Amino acid sequence: MSTPSQIVLISLVGVIFLACSNGSQQDNTGRSGGAPSAGSGGSQAEAGSGGQGEGSAGSSDRELFVPQNVSFSELADDADEGVNVASASLVQGAGGLEFFASLRNDGETSACSGAMSIELYDSAAQPLGSFNGGIFAAQVYRINDLNQAVACIDPQQLGMAGIVDIDPSVTLDQVSDVIYRFTYFNSEFFEGGLTPLLGFSVSDIERIEQGAQAAFSGFLVNDLDATVSEPSVTIFPITGVGRPLGMVIVAGSEPISPWSSWSFQTSFVELGGTDQLAFPIGSIEF
């Protein structure tokens, strides 16, 4: 099957930033994007298999927000001034609830090194808990004065978010409202400027379908003049309108040398969708 547009995730290495919602925020992940090399003997492991159901009976793949009986809204939303949710799924996964969202940057500056948090409420407006997850961004940059890498959602571009550590005691039928917010910092935060990093991508994705399930194989390509350690690939299966249905991760065990690639295959995700977006992750060693 055809390969979709390739997306890259790179986050900061050993750098802490302070930021606010829909603006500059704090990120201390210590990770940067990367790719495993061919013949590296990378291991394959799943982390976040995705949901097992659409969340409401009769939900259409054309719907942007599922379940339809749940309200999705942003806390202190500033429309068209930053990252917004384009579509979202709250699903019952094997280990509990899982939340996945497609994000769009409607602002005028790039949104870098982001995270997303959600608060769940029942029909009586009683809180069910607050949970956090990472944002996967498309454009990779080198921070000029820090010699570090960062991933950003550029203006009018898309990213993804996944939150899979939701309290297993919370069930889908309890949730009435999902309130979300973002933490990231604008590209203007970097006084020394950002330089785009090219040549780091997932290529030749193939779908392995088994009923509604799907697994994914392909190559993680490192055409950078730098070694990448702790490599992995995260893939979001999506519907025809781009709504993410789940998330599956495959990890490599060895660093990726410059100008190399690594072949991978994920485990199966319960809802394979009709297409997918892939994000490589690792630590770039300049």
Longest dimension (CA), the chain: 56
Within a domain: residue 42? no
> Residue 169 sits in which domain range?
65-285
Q: In terms of pLDDT, which residue wins out, 39 or 114?
A: 114
The domain tally of the chain equals 1
What pLDDT does 3 receive? Answer: 39
User: In 3D, which of 3, 32, 1 has the Cα closest to residue 235?
Assistant: 3
Q: Does residue 180 fall inside a structural domain?
A: yes
Report yes or no on 114 lying in a domain: yes
CA 125 to chain centre: 29
More confident call, 253 vs 131: 131
What average pLDDT score do residues 233-249 get?
95
pLDDT greater at residue 157 or residue 147: 157
Any domain includes 108: yes
Beta-carbon contacts of 95 under 8 Å, excluding residues fewer than 6 positions away, are 164, 168
pLDDT given at position 285: 76
pLDDT of 80 reads: 56
**Residue 28 included in any domain:** no
The arithmetic mean of pLDDT across residues 103-125, rounded, is 95
Judge whether residue 21 has pLDDT over 80. Answer: no
Does residue 271 sit within a domain? yes
Categorize the per-residue pLDDT at 47 as very low, low, confident or very high, splitting at 50, 70 and 90: very low
Tally of CA atoms within 13 A in the half-sphere of 260 that contains its CB? 19
CA Rg value for the chain: 18
pLDDT of residue 30: 29
Q: Does residue 37 belong to any structural domain of this protein?
A: no
Whole-number average pLDDT of the chain: 80
Q: What is the pLDDT of residues 66-89, one digit of tens each?
A: 999 999 999 876 555 689 999 999
Name the token pair of 228: 């990448």
Residue 261 lies in a domain: yes
Calpha distance 155→185 (Å, rounded): 13
Please compute the mean of the pLDDT values over residues 107-127 and round it to a whole number: 95
pLDDT category, 199, cuts 50, 70, 90?
confident
